[in-house]
Amino acid sequence: MAGEPFDKRSGFIWYDGAMVPWSDAKVHVLTHGLHYGSCVFEGERAYGGEIFKLEQHTARLKESARLLEFEIPFSEAEINAACREILKVQKLTDAYLRPVAWRGSEMMGVSAQANTIHLAIAAWEWPSYFDPAQRLKGIRIDMAKYRRPDPMTAPSTSKAAGLYMICTISKHAAERAGFADALMLDWRGRVAECTGANVFFVKDGVIHTPDADAFLNGITRQTVIELAKRRGYQVIERAIMPEELESFDECFITGTAAEVTPVSEIAGRHYQPGPVTRTLMEDYMAEVQPKKQAA
C-alpha cells in the first residue's frame, strides 16, 4: 500500500526496553537477522485502545523464537506491558502493532550463538488491508507458483520472517496480474493458505478449512472457528485439494490484518459472498471490540 515510508514516520518505538525516537530505531547492516533470517515477529491489532488477544500473540512470539533457537530476553508479562505502553505513547486507539525480535551483529556467519537478541515494538494507524469497496464485494485471488514447505524442511509453525519470502514473491505476481492476493498450496499439492491469511470455504452451509499442519495456525483463524461453532456451524478441518475449489459456494480469508474478508474469485473460480461469510464478518468485528465492564 502506498503511503508515508515507514522509516520517515514520527513518534516512538519501544526498543530493547526503552522508548526510542522513531527515526533512531535502527539496526546495523550486518545484523544476523537481515542476512540469515533469524527474525520472528507478530502482527497485532488494537480496537478501542485494547489489543485483541495480546497474550496469545506474545506467547506465539516467544514460541517462534524458541523454534529458531533463541530466547527473547523479556518475559511475556514485560512484552505485554510494552505493547500497551507503546500504544499509549503513540496516542493510538485503533492501530496495528508489530513486535519483532532478531539476532544482532556480534557474529556474522551461519552460527551466531553469541549474538545479542533484540526486541522492538512499533504501533501505527492501520487502514483496511484490502480496498474497502472491493472487500465487501469479495477480493480476487490468483494461484501462487511457490508452495508452503514441508515442516521437515522449515519451522512452519514459527512466525519467522524468512518464511514470508515466497509470500512476497507470490503476492507481487498476483498484483501484477490484477489480483489482490494469491492462494498457496503446500508441498503435497493441497490447498494451504494465502500469502498472509488463512482460507475458509463454505458448501451447503458447512465450513471447510485446510488442516494447519504445514502453515501457521492463525490466531484469527482460531477465533473464527470458535465463532462459527458458537453459531452452530459445522467446521471441518481437512485436506482440501485444488480440484475441489469449484465445488464451494463461499470463500473467505482470515488474518489480523485481513480480519474476515470475502473472496469472489480464485483464478477463474467464482464465489458469491454469502450468509455464512457475512455472519462471521459481523461476529468477528463484534468480538474484537473491547468488552464493557458490567456496572
Query: Which residue is catalytic, options 91, 159, 291, 292?
Result: 159
Instruction: Give the three-state DSSP class for 13.
Output: strand
C-alpha cell at 238: 481437512
DSSP 127-163: --SS-HHHHHH-EEEEE-SS-BPPTTTS-TTS-BGGG
184 and 195 Cβ atoms separated by less than 8 Å: yes
Give every CB contact of residue 288 below 8 A, 6+ residues apart in sequence: 45, 47, 52, 259
133-161 per-residue burial string, b: 16 or more CB within 10 A, e: under 16: eebeebbbbbbbeebbbeeeebbbbbbbb
C-alpha cell at 17: 526496553
d(CA 255, CA 186) in angstroms, rounded, equals 18
Asked if 159 is an active-site residue, the reply is yes
Specify the residue for cell string 556467519: 109
Q: How far out from the chain centre does Cα 233 lie?
A: 24
Q: How many CA atoms lie within 13 A of 256 on its CB side?
A: 23
Query: What residues are annotated to the active site?
Result: 159
